């Protein structure tokens, strides 16, 4: 993965600073779907650790070779490997007004690491209030979705390997079956969306990621949204959360 240098990239005084946003929720809760909408509207990048790992697996990098079997069985990739990936990504110039973390953090050690990392970033930007807001304490949007709904979303999910757009054969089908509306590419199914792997991912979510709800609630950063509503409703509530936090 190529890391762009961010040194010298300042934040324009009049540019809106959205700051960091975390999307938290179980597999298929809609984190990726909402992250793309937030990214388009607020003009900040979506940083999906799952997408970065899948790109590394496809490219057979050292990270990808370590992560492949772990992801295929539905386990979490080791914290240090994921944190190293995230720190490189946060240094890129497009994070200068904020960023959306989709699928990160996923364990309490990852959350503690992120808080420390954001603290260091703010310290480096001392005296530049706008730049400090871009790496302020994150707003955490938790998407709540029932297990059976998640299972239907997982089995119906298809995605475009070219543009990354996500569809669902039951709930949000493409106009032509199996073909991306945007670029005409044949849609694919993720290997970890098989039902037995999904069950394993859910177990790991409950055991390792759910404690983050208390972690962020105790710090007053958690906003809960009913993720079973239509995409547009979820989006409206997520946007309201982001804008309310920005007014504080
Ligand atoms: P990752 O890619 O992050 O997978 P995930 O968290 O399991 O989440 P998904 O991508 O499955 O779902 P989503 O919430 O983004 O839902 P989506 O919007 O696609 O991680 C994969 C693996 O990588 C992990 O298992 C782990 O091994 C590793 N990994 C990643 N990050 C890691 C980390 N930090 N630490 C350690 N390991 C890590 O939507 C799902 C479907 O539902 C779609 O079909 C969509 O169209 C549909 N849909 C979405 N919203 C709605 C709605 N409101 N109504 C109806 N349908 C909807």
Measured by CA distance, the residue closest to atom 53 of ligand 1 is 231
| pLDDT in the model for residue 222 | 95
Tell me what the mean pLDDT of segment 132-136 comes to: 90
Q: What pTM was estimated for this model as a whole? A: 0.90
* 177 half-sphere exposure, CB direction, 13 A CA radius: 1
Q: Is the per-residue pLDDT at 1 higher than 80?
A: no
Q: Report pLDDT digits (tens) over 164-174.
A: 899 999 888 99
Residues labelled as active-site residues? 31, 106, 157, 190, 201
Measured by CA distance, the residue closest to atom 13 of ligand 1 is 28
Which ligand 1 atom minimizes the distance to the CA of 193? 11
Q: Is the per-residue pLDDT at 104 higher than 70?
A: yes
| pLDDT in the model for residue 10 | 43
Q: Tell me how far the alpha carbon of residue 31 lies from the centroid of ligand 1, in angstroms.
A: 6
Q: Tell me how far the alpha carbon of residue 25 lies from the centroid of ligand 1, in angstroms.
A: 8
Q: Is the per-residue pLDDT at 156 higher than 60?
A: yes
Per-position DSSP letters for 20-82, written without gaps between them: EEEEE-STTSSHHHHHHHHHHHHT--EEEHHHHHHHHHHHT-HHHHHHHHHHHTTPPPPHHHH
Tell me what the mean pLDDT of segment 101-114 comes to: 98
| pLDDT in the model for residue 191 | 86
Q: Is the per-residue pLDDT at 17 higher than 90?
A: no
| pLDDT in the model for residue 246 | 55
Nearest-angstrom CA–CA distance, 13 and 152: 45
DSSP 10: P
Q: Tell me how far the alpha carbon of residue 32 lies from the centroid of ligand 1, in angstroms.
A: 6
């Amino acid at each position: 993965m190529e890391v762009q240098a961010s040194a010298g990239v300042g934040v324009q005084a009049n540019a809106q600073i959205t700051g960091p946003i975390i999307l938290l929720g179980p597999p298929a809760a809609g984190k990726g779907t909402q992250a793309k909408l937030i990214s388009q509207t607020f003009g900040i990048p979506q940083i999906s650790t799952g997408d970065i790992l899948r790109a590394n697996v496809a490219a057979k990098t050292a990270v990808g070779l370590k992560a492949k079997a772990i992801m295929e069985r539905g386990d979490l990739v080791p914290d240090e490997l994921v944190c190293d990936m995230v720190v490189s990504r946060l240094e890129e110039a497009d994070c200068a007004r904020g960023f959306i973390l989709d699928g990160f953090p996923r364990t309490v050690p990852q959350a503690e690491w992120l808080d420390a990392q954001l603290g260091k970033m703010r310290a480096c930007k001392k005296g530049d209030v706008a730049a400090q807001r871009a790496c302020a304490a994150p707003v955490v949007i938790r998407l709540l979705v029932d297990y059976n709904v998640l299972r239907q979303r997982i089995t119906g999910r298809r995605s475009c390997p070219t543009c990354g757009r996500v569809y669902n054969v039951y709930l949000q089908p493409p106009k032509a079956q199996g073909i991306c509306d945007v670029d005409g590419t044949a849609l694919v199914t993720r290997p970890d969306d098989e039902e037995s792997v999904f069950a394993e991912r859910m177990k790991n979510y409950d055991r390792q990621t759910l404690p983050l709800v208390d972690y962020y609630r105790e710090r007053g950063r958690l906003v809960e949204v009913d993720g079973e509503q239509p995409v547009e409703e979820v989006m409206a509530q997520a946007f309201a959360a982001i804008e309310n936090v920005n007014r504080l």
